[in-house]
């Protein structure tokens, strides 16, 4: 009987749950991925297992089947969604080979998604728009205090949504005016806490945060008080945009805004990369396209124009 169906057309067999759990543990131990990343990789791999017919079919995989899945699954999806599947599937196939489930390494059979690096400008928000975004939070309520503090950290420090969600009470050093941030690859770094963001944090912790057992800085307002999730950070950003009368956008836009404002204020690309905690200058290099002062000397005069 045919086991392969259209991508996403069936649910993985019961033994796939155990396999995905083991995969998650491997990602944490071997790759040092955050719980949010592990969840994303596992979700994508679940779709792959559904297409193959479950965990029992992993041993019979070959390069042709892997490529066929990726080609079929990517049809009609955008570039970033396809890239996420490529990354997750390659990780899963490395795990499958490392644990003896496949006889040969198949990660190389996952085709790359065609894209052109630095083909677009990073889209930031104007200072006035960020001001409207923050002003839209009703700081007379606990929810408004929390949302204002979160958005302040995203705008003033360029934190990723998952980093803000993961902040713990012990990560704040009030005496030194610093916070400890756990970023990609479980890297921890200490960052200076700007006064506006520090004041927003203090207002939330003293006047809005409910008393609960959680050690997370940001928790839900309603009982049971759970740590906020990266998904809730996205919801908060979307709600703030709506309240400010702005186009709905993601929390990452505030990170881009900080980078572009730093460049316009005279900061260098390495300084921007240091603030954003990029592990590679390649990640920072895209902002060179918005650094007009640095690019102007490289532009050649238009033929026939005055010297």
pLDDT tens digits, one per residue of 250-271: 888 888 888 777 777 777 767 7
| Model pLDDT, residue 24 | 93
Q: Which of 77, 97, 234, 252 is catalytic?
A: 252
Out of 253, 255, 256, 277, the active site residue is 255
User: Choosing from 90, 139, 209, 287, which is the catalytic residue?
Assistant: 287
28, HSE (Cβ side, Cα atoms, 13 Å): 12
Q: How many whole angstroms separate alpha carbon 137 and alpha carbon 149? A: 10
Statement: residue 119 has pLDDT above 70 = no
Q: Give the pLDDT score at 257.
A: 82
Q: Token digits for 168?
A: 């713990």
Of 81-95, 187-201, 261-275, the one with minimum mean pLDDT is 261-275
Spatial contact of 106 and 61, defined as CB atoms under 8 Å apart: yes
Pick the range with the lowest mean pLDDT from 6-15, 103-112, 114-123.
6-15
Q: Is 97 an active-site residue?
A: no
The one catalytic residue in 46, 90, 94, 160 is 160
Task: Determine whether 256 is an active site residue.
Answer: no
CATH of 15-109, one of 1.10.150, 1.10.287, 1.10.10, 3.40.50: 1.10.150
12: pLDDT confidence band, cut at 50, 70 and 90?
Answer: very low
Portions of the chain given CATH number 1.10.443.10: 127-293
CATH architecture group of domain 127-293: Orthogonal Bundle (1.10)
To the query of whether residue 255 is one of the catalytic residues in this protein, the response is: yes
Q: Which of 97, 101, 132, 184 is catalytic?
A: 184
Strands 188-192 and 172-173: unpaired
Q: Where in the chain is the domain with CATH 1.10.150?
A: 15-109
> What does the pLDDT read at residue 288?
54
Is the pLDDT confidence value at 7 over 70? no
Q: Catalytic annotation on 278? A: yes
């Amino acid at each position: 009987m045919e086991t392969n169906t259209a991508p996403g057309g069936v649910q993985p067999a019961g033994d796939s749950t155990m396999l995905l759990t083991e995969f998650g543990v491997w990602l944490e131990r071997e790759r040092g991925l955050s719980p949010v990343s592990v969840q994303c990789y596992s979700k994508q791999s679940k779709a792959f297992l559904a297409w193959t017919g479950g965990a029992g079919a992993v041993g019979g995989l070959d390069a042709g089947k892997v490529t066929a899945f990726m080609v079929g699954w990517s049809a009609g999806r955008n570039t970033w969604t396809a890239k996420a599947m490529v990354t997750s599937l390659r990780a899963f196939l490395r795990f499958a080979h490392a644990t003896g489930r496949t006889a040969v390494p198949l990660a190389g059979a996952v085709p790359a998604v065609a894209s052109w690096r630095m083909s677009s400008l990073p889209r930031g928000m104007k200072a006035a728009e960020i001001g409207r975004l923050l002003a839209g939070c009703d700081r007379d309520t606990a929810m408004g205090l929390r949302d204002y503090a979160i958005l302040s950290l995203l705008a003033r420090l360029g934190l990723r949504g998952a980093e803000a969600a993961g902040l713990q009470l012990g990560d704040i050093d009030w005496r030194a005016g610093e916070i400890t941030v756990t970023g990609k690859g479980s890297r921890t770094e200490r960052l200076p806490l700007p006064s506006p963001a520090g004041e927003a944090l203090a207002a939330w912790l003293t006047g809005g945060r409910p008393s609960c057992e959680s050690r997370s800085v940001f928790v839900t307002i309603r009982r049971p008080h759970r740590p906020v999730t990266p998904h809730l950070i996205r919801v908060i950003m979307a709600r703030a945009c709506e309240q400010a009368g702005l186009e709905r956008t993601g929390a990452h836009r505030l990170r881009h805004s900080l980078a572009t404002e730093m460049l316009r204020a005279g900061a260098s690309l390495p300084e921007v990369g240091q603030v954003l905690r990029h592990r590679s200058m390649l990640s920072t290099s895209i902002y060179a396209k918005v650094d007009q002062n640095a690019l102007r000397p490289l532009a050649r005069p238009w033929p026939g124009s005055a010297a």
